[in-house]
Structure 1
Amino acid sequence: MQSKPTFAPQLVIPNGVTDISFYIKAFGAVELRRFSDDDGTIHVSELSINGALFHLHEQTQHSTAVSPDKYHATTVTIGLFVDDVHEVVAQAEAAGASVRSPVQDYDYGYRQGEVIDPFGHHWLIEKAI
């Protein structure tokens, strides 16, 4: 029997980060494990939002991946499906996100709002309606 593929994005964060509580406060994430550098900063953190895994990884000199904060731009938006889009966008804003696009209903059948987290990652909070 073949196992089901799992999608687990790796989000690059700047060097020197110690506080990732934004993800816990904004999205109810749970940190499953962490690998720290000698100075106590985060090298890798594995988190889960209702069973969906994602990783935070510090920017390294050996990788071509960079934190969106470096260029004030991003090439990806993370879609997060939730039951209450308004509530999660409000939680994210209260936790330190900036609202890029307020929550609204679209004629293609989705309720969506977009936020930018403190590290520059774009999150599309959404629900099929």
Structure 2
Amino acid sequence: MTGFHVIKLQPRLVVSGADAAIDFYGRALGATLTERYTTPQGKVVHAEIAVGDFTVAIKDEGDGDPAPRDGGVPVIMSLRVTDVDAAAAAFDAAGGTVIYPVSDWPHGERGGRFADPFGHQWMLTQVIADMSPEEIQRVTDEMFSRDD
């Protein structure tokens, strides 16, 4: 037993030109935009598209994530769980490597990023505060206006 339950597994695509990618997947796959959060300068830090019954996250490259054509990883797997600390401990015990340690994030999640022994990156997250899309965008604006 792992001590946590997986709630959602989602691929996260890092691209150069998230809005163009969202448009492309809409035209190519019939995807519809369901969430989109940006920096004050308009860079997409998180967007979600619905492709049939599935959800895919997309973000602009940057913040330590280069796009694949610029040498980055092609997909980051995002795993939402009931207990992120237990999931992180299990990932570590199984031989994973910490990229970003688990911490509380201002947009209502607790999470961290890990690498598996095969070179794939995994974001492990847990919701810790129920926030509206407007609240998430507000804290994203605040966070990135300090960094940019």
Q: Same fold (TM over 0.5)?
A: no
From the two aligned structures, give the one with the greater helix fraction. 2
Q: Name the TM tier (shorter chain).
A: 0.3 to 0.5
- TM-score (normalised: structure 1): 0.44
